[in-house]
Amino acid sequence: MYHNKQWLSQKYYQEKLFFSDIAKICNVEPATILRWFKKLGLKARSPSERHMGEWNGRWKGGSYLIKHSKDRYIRMITKDGKRVVEHRLVLEKSLGRKLDKEETVHHLDGNSTNNDINNLLLLPSNSEHRRYETTLNNFAKQILFGKLKPYNHKQLLELFNQMLLKSGQDIST
């Protein structure tokens, strides 16, 4: 059985079994499976993949967070096995449609793990997201350093309302 590349590949990649599980099926040592794996030219999962999400022995399905990831987004595994960030799934479910590749999701409170629908803002593109972030940063600096002028407040509030209205949200003036 384990001499067959297709069979071994099926057990490891599709059925997501570990070498030890495959070895038990074949009544051999895990080292034998690893040796045949290499001999047949199959590639083993990296150490980080072996213990993350669905590859973890205690995995029960659902979401996971990569501890050392720069973006710190919660990831989900869809029914068809694709890995996607949770906030995009939440917005797609709320909108009742798939998001375009260009569309970007912004976390209003800055917490990338808070995927409550009320914390998510859909922006049409990455450039709009950068513009939003820049404006928000300027607004925050003006508030922090006490240089917020009354005319700036109205202008910035208008800009935010325009962006929020695109997503069906609004903030009070």
- Domain match, 38 and 77 both: no
Name the domain count of the chain.
3
Residue 173 belongs to some domain of the structure: no
In this predicted structure, what is the pLDDT of residue 156? 67
- Domain match, 115 and 154 both: no
pLDDT above 70 for 97: yes
What's the number of CA atoms in the CB half-sphere (13 Å) around residue 51?
3
- Domain match, 59 and 114 both: yes
- Report angle CA 88, 169, 143 to the nearest 5 degrees: 100
Residue 105 belongs to some domain of the structure: yes
pTM: predicted TM-score of the whole model, two decimal places: 0.52
Given a contact cutoff of 8 angstroms between Cβ atoms, the answer to whether 66 and 75 are in contact is yes
In this predicted structure, what is the pLDDT of residue 105? 92
- Domain match, 110 and 137 both: no
Residue 80: pLDDT band (50, 70, 90) is low
- Domain match, 130 and 119 both: no
Mark out the alpha helices in 97-149 (DSSP H runs): 126-144
Indicate the residue among 123, 140, 158 that finishes a domain: 123
Q: Which domain holds residue 114?
A: 53-123
- Domain match, 130 and 117 both: no
In this predicted structure, what is the pLDDT of residue 173? 43
Residue 171 belongs to some domain of the structure: no
Dihedral, 130, 133, 139, 140 alpha carbons, nearest 10: -140
Residue 10 belongs to some domain of the structure: yes
Residue 106 belongs to some domain of the structure: yes
